[in-house]
Amino acid sequence: MMNKTPKPPDTPHRPTPAPDSARDSTPDPVPAVRATSLTVTRGPRQVLRDLDFTVPKGQITGLLGPSGCGKTTLMRSIVGTQAKVTGTLNVLGHPAGHPSLRSRIGYVTQAPSVYDDLTIRQNLDYFAAVLDPSRPHAARRADVDRALTDVDLTSHADALAGHLSGGQRGRVSLAVALLGTPDLLVLDEPTVGLDPVLRRDLWALFDRLAARGTTLLVSSHVMDEAERCHRLLLMRAGRLLADDTPEALRTRTATDTVEAAFLHLVDQATEATRDKEPHR
Ligand SMILES: Nc1ncnc2c1ncn2[C@@H]1O[C@H](COP(=O)(O)OP(=O)(O)OP(=O)(O)O)[C@@H](O)[C@H]1O
């Protein structure tokens, strides 16, 4: 079972695909992320094994796979917070973790990081000051207003963060990540626990950000969200099963949905592993 939450009854089978303008645009020759032979060890285990992939600029790339397959580890590697990373991992033209990337990447983890005893606006004011203390007050204020508008929380700006729903807290975290207008936005399962309307609104925001030129890497368990991405990285057990567009995946596997394509690729990979095992 891939989904953490049951599929909501009114979720369309295949949500609105990403806009053609973004899908058909020729990708920037320098990708936002390029990984070659990327391997990560956590504790005694290799949790990412020999990954090769690229994330094109200005598009939404979905990172999908079952719980524990290594999605968070891959995101942490890209934002530069993961230890024991080998191989090559370039992000926006620099090695992952390079100091110049700090202000260019927004990272939203699964646990929203907001101060409960501050209002939404106070949270954003605080993070804006930490992000760039030398930025003039008026410019910081404009950044906060823009981020509030982006996540549709302007009318709740004076509410205490501690009084918000889980989905609203997640949107505050996203607003914090948007304060510095990052070139790359890395979102770890941003739609978990959201109702269908909020999920739709959040995906509409991702589309708007991509249309502005932001690169998004979004992890999810929910395969119908995969259909909304320009590209997909499908993972299983620390390995990459596919790096392609949803359409190409469906065509290549002669299936109707990305979920069916994923299952087809899992079966293929299982068979290939079995064939390599010595016969007893
Ligand atoms: N601190 C750690 N030490 C050792 N192993 C870890 C650590 N954190 C995670 N792992 C292991 O690394 C593997 C990948 O974990 P990761 O959190 O990247 O998966 P995921 O795909 O993001 O899972 P989920 O969808 O449940 O968040 C898992 O097998 C997990 O048990």
Q: What is the pLDDT of residue 196?
A: 87
pLDDT at 5 over 70: no
Ligand 1 centroid–CA 71 distance in Å is 8
Rounded Cα distance between 135 and 128, Å, is: 9
Average pLDDT over residues 215-244: 93
Q: What would the two tokens of residue 146 be?
A: 């823009």
- The DSSP H or E segment spanning 247 is helix 246-253
Residue 195 banded pLDDT, cuts 50, 70, 90: confident
- Structure confidence by residue, pLDDT tens digits, 69-117: 999 999 999 999 999 999 999 999 999 999 999 889 999 998 888 999 9
Q: What is the pLDDT of residue 126?
A: 97
Among protein residues, the one whose CA lies closest to atom 10 of ligand 1: 42
CB distance 250 to 257 below 8 Å: yes
Task: Identify the weakest region by mean pLDDT among 26-30, 71-75, 145-149, 166-170.
Answer: 26-30
Average pLDDT over residues 141-163: 95
CA nearest to 106, candidates 143, 128, 129, 79: 79
User: Can you tell me which residue has the tokens 């094994």?
Assistant: 49
b/e sequence 51-65, b meaning 16+ C-beta within 10 Å: bebbbbbbbbbbbbb
Which value does ipTM take for this structure? 0.96
Q: Mean pLDDT of all residues in the chain?
A: 88
Among protein residues, the one whose CA lies closest to atom 31 of ligand 1: 68
Which residues line ligand 1 at a C-beta cut-off of 6 Å? 42-43, 47, 65, 67-73
Angle subtended by helix axes 196-211 and 166-178, to nearest 10: 10
Q: What is the pLDDT of residue 226?
A: 92
Residue 19 banded pLDDT, cuts 50, 70, 90: very low
User: Can you tell me which residue has the tokens 């320098």?
Assistant: 30
Task: Report the side by side order of strands in the sheet with 45-55.
Answer: 45-55, 33-42, 85-91, 94-95
**Residue to substitute in 1, 2, 41, 47 for testing ligand 1 pocket (most ligand atoms within 8 angstroms of CB):** 47
pTM of the model: 0.87
Task: Identify the weakest region by mean pLDDT among 2-6, 130-134, 188-192, 264-268.
Answer: 2-6
Average pLDDT over residues 129-134: 92
Ligand 1 centroid–CA 56 distance in Å is 25
Residue 18 banded pLDDT, cuts 50, 70, 90: very low
3 state DSSP class of 54: strand
> pLDDT exceeding 90 applies to what percent of the chain?
72
CB distance 212 to 242 below 8 Å: no
Rounded Cα distance between 215 and 60, Å, is: 6
- Structure confidence by residue, pLDDT tens digits, 21-79: 444 455 557 899 999 999 999 999 999 999 999 999 999 999 999 889 999 999 999 99
pLDDT at 11 over 70: no
Rounded Cα distance between 233 and 254, Å, is: 18
Average pLDDT over residues 157-186: 94
pLDDT at 123 over 60: yes
pLDDT at 184 over 60: yes
Rounded Cα distance between 184 and 112, Å, is: 19
CA nearest to 36, candidates 54, 62, 48: 54
Rounded to 5 degrees, φ, ψ at 185 are: -115, 120
Q: What is the pLDDT of residue 28?
A: 58
Q: Which amino acid is at 254?
A: A
Residue 223 banded pLDDT, cuts 50, 70, 90: confident
Stated length of the chain: 280
Kindly give the number of the ligand 1 atom that is closest to the alpha carbon of 74: 18
CB distance 231 to 62 below 8 Å: yes
pLDDT at 16 over 80: no
Ligand 1 centroid–CA 57 distance in Å is 27
Return the domain boundaries, the chain. 239-272
Counting beta carbons within 10 angstroms of the beta carbon of residue 136, is it exposed (0 to 12), middle (13 to 18) or buried (19 or more)?
Answer: exposed
CB distance 176 to 128 below 8 Å: no
Ligand 1 centroid–CA 65 distance in Å is 12
